[in-house]
Amino acid sequence: MTPRGSNFNLDLKGRIPELDGLRGIAIGTVLIWHYLVFTTVAVPATPLSYALVLGRLTWSGVDLFFVLSGFLIGGILLDARTATNYFKIFYTRRFFRILPIYSAILLVFPAILFAMQRTRHGDFSWLSKDALPWYSYWTFTQNFWMARTASLGANALAITWSLAIEEQFYLTLPLVVRFLSSRGLLVFVLTGICVAPLSRTAIHLFWPQNHVAAFTLMPCRADALLLGVLAAILLRDDVWRARIQRNNTLFAISFPVLLLGIGFLNLKSPSPDFPLMQTIGHTWLALFYVCVLLYAVTRPQTLVSRALRLKWLGWLGAIAYGTYLLHQFVQGILFGYFWGHEPLVTGLPTLLTALVALIMTLIIARLSWHYFEHPLIRFGHRSSYNFMRKVAEECPVERATHI
């Protein structure tokens, strides 16, 4: 790949390798959280316990996923908003990207779990206890059930709350982008960013025993998604893009301030059920992630952008979706089979189990990407957006011939 110069012309319709790197970081932090930080049992006031403190916000890789989704999906919709087949192409591509592997996992997980239980060896109850209604997963409404029950449900599919949020976002944003003016869209995005922390604050005040609702409901998490959309809007405006590219002072000030805030959150409010995180913490994290995104894509010669273009990060980013769906199930199966309990890292043997689960997850996800997901994505992209309405109206005979 040829590096882009300092005065490069940003191609927002082509592939931006820095985004693959950010996606790799997002899934990497989620893996660190579930495989190491959340599951490790450490004696207080030991070097290990202090080391784990540094990883207490790694669960926020999901917030980075939301920012990336908002930026990429928002950009796609903005570029295609005048297409005659706008909705058809968008939802066809989303279908082949999201549904096949998700549906396969919803079918395969119960079968594997049933087979493992029939061996009468190990304990796999951690994967299936507190299961939500099966149809909630198929309709992407599991986050509503999670909010209602104040539980993430069966651990094998607990992580799918974020998929429900994104699917609900995909149903909403195309309509907004298509039918609102540019100014109206900007007002909608800014309003949604402000409403999200207010919604979480309202839940904290009036429903304090249920932090799950503030964590899993789409309006409560729209700030990260819409900050990504806002970044896509700004970079498609010539004036704002130039400002972002040239204004180093903006980043010189914002990065230290945002990092100080993240350090404070890490020490004082590191979990989603803490009041500060539940109210403004998620917005703060999303602001940091969107600043990193803007910096990376507009300054390709910097160390940050070069790091994000590392091949192994791009490799991890490519298989992020499959890895995300698989990782807790694989982890639960191995710990249930070999140790007879939920994933807990208590020493070297259980740490090795976690590492084996990680390797297995990455291998399966890579095979899924190569032989299943990527071919279907290419199939979904066979059709392109059509912007020929005006030409067709001006050439009725040619249009009739084509029909």
Higher pLDDT, 390 or 212: 212
d(CA 335, CA 352): 11
* Identity at 215, one-letter amino acid code: F
Mean pLDDT in residue range 161-176: 97
254: left (phi over 0), alpha (psi -120 to 50) or beta: alpha
H helical segments located in 217-347: 218-235, 238-246, 248-268, 275-276, 282-298, 303-308, 311-318, 320-338
d(CA 107, CA 48): 39
Each residue of 152-165: pLDDT tens digit?
999 999 999 999 99
Mean pLDDT in residue range 341-353: 97
Task: Identify the pLDDT of residue 8.
Answer: 53
What is the Cα gyration radius of the chain?
Answer: 22
Task: State both tokens at 105.
Answer: 């996992």
Mean pLDDT in residue range 204-227: 96
Report whether pLDDT(126) > 70.
yes
Mean pLDDT in residue range 340-366: 97
d(CA 144, CA 151): 10
Report whether pLDDT(397) > 90.
no
Higher pLDDT, 64 or 397: 64
Tell me the HSE value of 101 on the side-chain side, using a 13 A CA sphere. 28
Tell me the HSE value of 222 on the side-chain side, using a 13 A CA sphere. 21
Least confident of 9-18, 112-121, 133-142, 239-248: 9-18
Mean pLDDT in residue range 219-244: 97
d(CA 51, CA 31): 16
Task: Identify the pLDDT of residue 247.
Answer: 93
Percent of the chain, pLDDT > 70? 94
Task: Identify the pLDDT of residue 58.
Answer: 98
Tell me the three state secondary structure of residue 348.
helix
Mean pLDDT of the chain: 93
Among residues 125, 121, 143, 123, the alpha carbon closest in space to that of 133 is found at 143
Task: Identify the pLDDT of residue 6.
Answer: 44
In the chain, what are the helix, strand and coil shares in percent, each to the nearest 5? 75, 0, 25
Task: Identify the pLDDT of residue 9.
Answer: 64
Phi, psi of 284 (to 5 degrees): -65, -45
Residue linked to tokens 């944003």: 173
Task: Identify the pLDDT of residue 144.
Answer: 98
Residue 391's pLDDT band (cuts 50, 70, 90) = very low
Q: 308: Cβ–Cβ under 8 A, 6 or more apart, which residues?
A: 17, 18, 20, 21, 22, 25, 296
Residue ranges of domains in the chain: 17-402
Report whether pLDDT(123) > 80.
yes
- CA distance readout (Å), 110 to 104, 114, 124, 157, 221: 11, 6, 12, 11, 29
What residues pair up with 40 in beta bridges, in sequence order? 345
| Burial class of 6 by CB neighbour count within 10 A (0 to 12, 13 to 18, 19+) | exposed
Report whether pLDDT(342) > 90.
yes
Tell me the three state secondary structure of residue 73.
helix
Residue 1's pLDDT band (cuts 50, 70, 90) = very low
Phi, psi of 3 (to 5 degrees): -65, 145
Report whether pLDDT(399) > 80.
no
Task: State both tokens at 139.
Answer: 């309709």
Each residue of 11-53: pLDDT tens digit?
777 789 999 999 999 999 999 999 999 999 999 999 999 999 9
Phi, psi of 397 (to 5 degrees): -70, -45
Each residue of 277-332: pLDDT tens digit?
999 999 999 999 999 999 999 999 999 999 999 999 999 999 999 999 999 999 99
Residue 389's pLDDT band (cuts 50, 70, 90) = low
| Burial class of 274 by CB neighbour count within 10 A (0 to 12, 13 to 18, 19+) | middle
